[in-house]
Amino acid sequence: MQPKFIFITGGVVSSLGKGIAASSIGLLLERMGLKVSMMKLDPYLNVDPGTMSPFQHGEVYVTDDGAETDLDLGHYYRFTHSPLSKKSSVSSGQIYHEVLRRERKGDYLGKTVQVIPHITDEIKRRIVDCAAHSDVILVEIGGTVGDIESQPFLEAIRQMRYEKPNSCLNIHVTYVPFIKAAGEVKTKPTQHSVQLLRQIGISPDMILCRSELSLSEDVKEKISLFCNVRTDNVIECADVQHSIYEVPLTLHAQNIEEKICQMLQLPSQPINLTNWQQLIETIRHPKGVITVGIVGKYVQHQDAYKSVFEALQHGAFANGYKIEIRRIESDRFDESGAFPDWAHGCDGYLVPGGFGDRGWYGKISCAKYCRENKIPYFGICLGMQVMVVEFARHGLGLIHANSTEMDQTTPDPIISLLEEQKLVTDRGGTMRLGAYPCLLKEDSKAHLAYGKPQISERHRHRYEVNNKYRPQLEKAGLSISGTYEEGDLTEIVEVKDHPWMVGAQFHPEFGSKPLEPHPLFRDFVKAMIERKTAC
């Protein structure tokens, strides 16, 4: 069967949740027995988000093959089993870079290179390539209709709808605001958004209406009339009460997956959402509540640690608990090394990944506080390096121990660059990226969590634990419980004689799903619960 194409566009405002909508639809189609692929088209001219500030773009999600991608791929992973790779995330920068490379090479045989057909042809080629071996592909277009940057993507979609008339479907996500002063919802923004889309040559087949409140039939009929979409294809997606994981059930209640299959003539089978419904029941009726402190420098940005926040929720679901996240800005700490009173009171602390020295002292003091007071601690990437440096300073007595990322003159470079990284000048795509194997030490907390001797996890970093200091660290009580043998690199560290203090050089949050929580997050939450119930 030739693959079918579902294009998901957005209008009115950004951050409407196109990624959650696409992921939820992908989940429902998977549960109907279809093989689903997911893809994100981003209009920015950066080649990828790898060099973009988290304040600008949120987290960078990394695939097994080392692609630095948009955070929406994290949603795709958590909701579906779509294969994600470099093919799944495409930016305008990548498209233009490839077309210009081929022009310089002479591949266009002297023709004038233009947006149409050369840019649009490259976009279509990549969509078709990503769709290979799938029954259906969901393609999300970033930004909103009317943005100048996204016009080539929308033109490519228009062409594909013309070339494959029975294989393409457009779902337009729009906003239906509730005006409190008037006491009613307004459909005009949706009407204008659809008009813009139709001017480009695309008529939506389905409109997904984001709103604060449920929409009446009168409102749906009005949208249907003015937007030329059947009333039963006007789908409401009001704000959910407890969790984004309720969205698939909301869409399923309106039979969105059946309507899509009928319009695209896709085969389907009865859908079974029992385990997903049980998940929602766990979320709605937890056994108790625990609090985790996230100590980082981007904590006030909603999406900077998106996968970490979600993985913590997954770990809580697995233990039947609700987890509350307390955001602690590491750059509010002073250089004294004391953990301030205002940061006390959490059941455990997590220091996530990051770059640069801002907030470094705050992270060090968090690790020291947790180690000395036997409080569960989870260090991820930079958070693991924080844990090692703190242990070297206060466990080994190397008071000037540091990472060369923070201090190139330190006499004890506990964390340092690999030799091959010292020659790197470009910043984009030059770190240790993607999945690497890791051997686990038997009977370690990591081995007990995973339940197997070897794992594979995704990385995004440049600096490593300096092997020169490993014997001293281990003798003093820091266990190296996970290693990448080929490169003789430290992957997981644990503090002996501590209830749960674990650091991972990789990013375990990228491998967590609500029904398949990551083992380290599951056990970290379990340790916090045990500490709270024991107090």
Positive or negative, the Cα torsion across 206, 209, 213, 218?
Answer: negative
CA distance 379 to 352: 6
List strand residue ranges (DSSP E) for 418-477, in order: 432-440, 454-461, 463-465
CA distance 216 to 224: 12
Give the pairing of strands 322-329 and 348-351: unpaired
Which residue matches tokens 């766990």?
282
Helix then strand then coil, % of the chain, to nearest 5: 40, 25, 35
Helix/strand/coil for 10: strand
CA distance 205 to 203: 6
The tokens of 489 are what?
């690199």
Tell me if residue 209 is catalytic: no
Neighbours of 424 (CB within 10 A): 12
Tell me if residue 507 is catalytic: yes
The tokens of 224 are what?
């249907």
Q: How far is CA 282 from the centre of its chain?
A: 23
Tell me if residue 381 is catalytic: yes
- Active-site choice (209, 405, 509, 518): 509
Question: Going by C-beta distance under 8 Å and a sequence separation of 6 or more, which residues neighbour residue 273?
Answer: 31, 248, 249, 252
- Active-site choice (381, 447, 464, 498): 381
Phi-psi region of 7 (alpha: psi -120 to 50; beta: other; left: phi over 0): beta
The tokens of 365 are what?
């003091």
Q: Are 502 and 520 in contact (CB under 8 A)?
A: yes
Which residue matches tokens 């650091």?
503
Indicate which residues carry an active-site annotation. 381, 507, 509
